[in-house]
Amino acid sequence: MILPCAAVLFDVDGTLVDSTPLVERAAREWAAEYGIDPDEFLADAHGRRTSDRVADFLPPDRVREATARLDALEATGTDGITALPGAVELLAGMNGLPHAFVTSMDRAQLELRTGAAGIPLPPIVITAEDVPDGKPDPSGYLQAAGHLGVDPSGCLVIEDAPAGIAAGRAAGATVLAVLTSHPRESLAAAHHTVENLARVAAAPDGLHLRL
């Protein structure tokens, strides 16, 4: 299958990088400190800004401090962080196709995790600090498309989580979901799904999928 597009907008964590072991360890330690059920917290945390998920559990006057604490716990190491299948190869072979990263991580987390996984950062990167609202709000994808000079409707968003898929669709982009962190039925809102990025190759006019 060929998906024509003028630019590709990549989510990072769960799409290009697997940092699940680090994130879960930090979240469980953090949740114990704040008297929160860690399984409940983690159930809908993936793909969302940390501050937005923390705000689901704590009053507004505690969100900043609690977010900083969780960020600090996540920044204590890189054990278990790896590139997901096909990610490095796809990025190395973009063949001039414009692309950007749009992540719910902050810049420090992004640099730490991509560095550990060997994922090169493109010139255009939109992080949690760059948007007024996190995914599922489309702000990040709209900003990335604007920086690339491409209409959002001409972009292909690659995501692994429901919140990110909703953000991509709200931006007006075509969304390709990778089955790296959620079951297929959770990602039904995506236009297309593929097992992982090892089944994706780039050409100047878009992405080629092996289903």
pLDDT score of 78: 79
Look at 46-55, 58-67, 179-188 and tell me which has the smallest mean pLDDT.
46-55
Report whether pLDDT(95) > 90: no
Q: Is 13 a catalytic residue?
A: yes
Amino acid letter for position 179: L
Q: Do the beta carbons of residue 171 and residue 145 sit within 8 Å? A: yes
Nearest to 31 by CA among 58, 2, 1: 58
Q: Do the beta carbons of residue 209 and residue 193 sit within 8 Å? A: no
**Chain mean pLDDT for the chain:** 94
Hey, what are 211's tokens?
């289903």
Q: What is the mean pLDDT of residues 134-148?
A: 97
Q: What does pTM read for this prediction?
A: 0.86
Catalytic residue among 11, 71, 106, 137: 11
pLDDT score of 90: 97
Q: Do the beta carbons of residue 58 and residue 172 sit within 8 Å? A: no
Q: What is the mean pLDDT of residues 65-87?
A: 89
- H-type helices in the chain, by residue range? 20-34, 38-43, 50-55, 60-74, 87-92, 107-117, 139-148, 162-171
pLDDT score of 204: 87
Nearest to 165 by CA among 197, 141, 143: 141
Catalytic residue among 13, 52, 71, 137: 13
Domains observed in the chain: 2-18+81-209 (3.40.50.1000), 20-74 (no CATH)
44 vs 123, residue with greater confidence: 123
27-42, pLDDT tens digit by residue? 999 999 999 999 999 9
Q: Is 137 a catalytic residue?
A: no
Report whether pLDDT(109) > 90: no
Q: What is the mean pLDDT of residues 158-171?
A: 97
Q: Do the beta carbons of residue 105 and residue 12 sit within 8 Å? A: yes
Residue 210: pLDDT band with limits 50, 70, 90: confident
pLDDT score of 127: 97
Which value, in Å, is the radius of gyration of the alpha carbons in the chain?
16
49-60, pLDDT tens digit by residue? 889 999 999 999
